[in-house]
Structure 1
Amino acid sequence: MTNINELIEKVRQQKIILWVGAGFSLYAGAPSGNKLMKDIIKHSTGDEKTSLEECTQTLDSVAETFEQLYSRAKLLKVLEQETIIPYQNVMYHNMIRQIPQITNIVTTNYDTLFETVYQDDISVVYGNTLLPQSNNRKVKLYKIHGDFLDPQSIIITKHDYTNFFSPSRIWNPLWSTIVSLCAQHSILFIGYSLEDPNVVQLMDILKENLGNTQNINYFIGPQLPSHKQRSYEKNYKIKYIEATVEEIIPIIHKNIKRNLITDTLQKKIEYSSVSKIFQDNGIDPVFEMNQGNIYLRGIKKTTEKSLKGKIVFNTTSDDYFSDLLKGESFESFNISNSNVVELDINGINLPYSYEGSLVIQATPIKTYEGDLVFKNSELILNNVKCKIYISRSGKLKKLSIECKCLNLVYQNNIKEDSIKVSFTVPEDINFINTKMAFDFLYHWICEKNPWTFQSTDKTFSDDGEEGIGSHFSSETIEWITNAHQVYSALFAIQMHFHKCFRNPIQCLYKSDINKIHVLLSYIENKTDNITKLTARVDFMDNFKINLLYAPIPLNIDQQCNTIILFGEEFRINKTYTIYGDDVYAENLDEVIELYKQGQHNIPIVLKSKSNNLKGEWK
Structure 2
Amino acid sequence: MLKEIWTELNDKTEMEYKFFVRKVEHEIGQDIANLEPDEKKYNLNPSLASQIRNQFNDRFYSDQNFILKIFHDDEVKLIIENGYDPFKFYISKKVNVLKIKDDKLTYEEMNCLKDNQNKIAGIITTNYDSILEQIFPDFDVLMGNESLLIANTDNLFNIYKIHGSNKEPNTIVITKEDYEYFIGKLKYLSAKLLTLFVEHPIIFIGYSISDVNIRSILEEITFCLSNEQLSSLKNKFLFIKPAFGEKDSINTREIIFNNKKIIMNEITINNYMDFYTELSKINSSMPVRVIRKMQDMFCNFIATTEATNNIFVGNLSNPNISDDKVGVYFGPLETVSSIGFKTYSLNDIMEDILFDNKPYLVNLSIIDETFKNIRSISGQTYLPIYKYLSKLGLTTDYLPDNFKIIKSISGIDLNRTEKEYCKDKPQFNSIKEILECFPKHHAKQLANIQKNYDKIPLNELSQFLKEKFYDGDYRRKMESQYRKIVALYDYRKYS
TM interval, shorter chain, is 0.3 to 0.5
Q: Which structure's CA Rg is the greater one? A: 1
Q: Give TM-score, length-normalised by structure 2.
A: 0.46
Kindly indicate whether structure 1 or structure 2 has the higher relative contact order, using CA contacts under 8 Å at least 6 residues apart: 2
Higher helix share: 2
Q: Give TM-score, length-normalised by structure 1.
A: 0.38
Higher strand share: 1
